[in-house]
């Protein structure tokens, strides 16, 4: 009897393995690469508009995961200007988690230069939303010049952080979002020089982000720079078709001597220091991120005087 049971189990397992093998072979043979390629490229375009995406190669692994190699984004009218390159993008279904939650879930990871972006995606079909979580590790902004393209200025630094959010699938709108982000050892170009400085170098920038219905709030912002140390908070909107429009930021700076290195009038500089005393320098930034304006509140006239006294 035991021999019959073992023989039956062996035959059943063998038949199951045979069936799975045939299924895998059929998936490989019938894998609709071009259809999936077009779908992924269209999805990337929807997520990051203003960028033309290309996928080098697609593969299906034995666990049903999708491997994309050499995913590149270009300016729509310039094939020679690459804005982003993901060496690999892996999407792996989470079958057990999907069964437990009752909605499709997947794990994703992407290698961008020496940095990594990884997390999970959950399709909330009943709510017609996409829930996304993720971490960013050691992503160099020079490996993602798409950000330079979106904000219209050069940026450098290494990004790390965690984030999560919900996206409304029907309109591809950000419903809710929160993140804790940090950028180390970088710089950002300034649209209008400040006291002769055309870019802002920094040792570290940290900020907490909270968003709902297209409006992102910035809290507990800190910046450490060779020019000043500062704190800031504010908000910006991602509505109306323009990325990061309606920017409103308020904060204070503690200037360092390097901020005034191009000021060529010791008397005017000393008068400014006397007025400032031990106080921090308040500032307000408003407008769009592509062309913001900065105002130094009650010290605006004194800063304008220093601007006229540069070397």
207-242 pLDDT, tens digit per residue, is 999 988 778 899 999 999 999 999 999 998 766 555
Q: What is the pLDDT of residue 115?
A: 93
Distance, in Å, from the CA atom of 203 to the CA atom of 6, rounded to the nearest integer, reads 67
**Alpha-carbon Rg of the chain, whole angstroms?**
26
Instruction: Phi first, then psi: give them for residue 108, nearest 5 degrees.
Output: -130, 155
What is the SS3 assignment for 77?
A: coil
What is the average pLDDT across 51-61? 81
Per domain, the residue ranges of the chain are 127-307
Distance, in Å, from the CA atom of 234 to the CA atom of 285, rounded to the nearest integer, reads 9
Q: What is the pLDDT of residue 240?
A: 52
Provide the 8-state DSSP code for 137: E
pTM of the model: 0.82
257-295 per-position pLDDT tens digit: 999 999 999 999 999 999 998 889 999 999 877 778 899
Does residue 129 have a pLDDT over 80? Answer: no
Burial class (CB in 10 A: 0-12, 13-18, 19+), 265: middle
Distance, in Å, from the CA atom of 285 to the CA atom of 301, rounded to the nearest integer, reads 16
Distance, in Å, from the CA atom of 278 to the CA atom of 268, rounded to the nearest integer, reads 17
106-115 per-position pLDDT tens digit: 888 989 989 9
Does residue 296 have a pLDDT over 80? Answer: yes
């Amino acid at each position: 009897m035991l021999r019959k049971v073992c023989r039956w189990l062996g035959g059943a397992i063998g038949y199951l393995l045979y069936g799975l093998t045939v299924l895998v072979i059929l998936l490989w043979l019938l894998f609709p690469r071009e259809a999936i390629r077009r779908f992924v490229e269209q999805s990337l375009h929807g997520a990051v508009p203003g960028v033309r995406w290309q996928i080098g190669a697609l593969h299906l692994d034995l666990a049903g995961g999708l491997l994309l190699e050499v995913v590149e984004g270009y300016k729509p009218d310039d094939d020679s200007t690459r804005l982003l390159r993901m060496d690999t993008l892996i999407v792996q279904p989470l079958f057990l988690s999907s069964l437990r939650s009752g909605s499709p879930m997947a794990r994703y990871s992407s290698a961008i230069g020496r940095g990594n972006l990884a997390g999970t995606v959950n399709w909330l079909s009943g709510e017609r939303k996409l829930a996304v979580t993720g971490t960013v590790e050691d992503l160099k902004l020079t490996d993602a010049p798409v950000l330079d393209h979106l904000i219209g200025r050069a940026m450098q630094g290494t990004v790390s952080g965690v984030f999560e959010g919900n996206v409304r699938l029907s309109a591809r709108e950000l419903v809710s979002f929160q993140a804790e982000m940090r950028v180390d050892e970088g710089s950002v170009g300034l649209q209008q020089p400040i006291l002769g400085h055309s870019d802002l170098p920094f040792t570290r920038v940290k900020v907490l982000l909270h968003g709902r219905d297209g409006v992102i709030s910035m809290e507990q912002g800190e910046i450490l720079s060779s020019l000043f140390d500062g704190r800031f908070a504010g908000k910006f909107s991602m509505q109306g078709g323009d990325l990061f429009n309606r920017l409103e930021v308020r904060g204070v700076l503690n200037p360092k001597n390097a901020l005034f290195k191009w000021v060529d009038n010791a008397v005017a500089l000393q008068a400014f220091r006397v007025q400032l005393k031990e106080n921090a320098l308040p500032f307000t930034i408003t407008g769009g991120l592509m062309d913001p304006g900065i105002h130094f509140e009650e010290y605006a006239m004194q800063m304008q005087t220093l601007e006229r006294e540069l070397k």
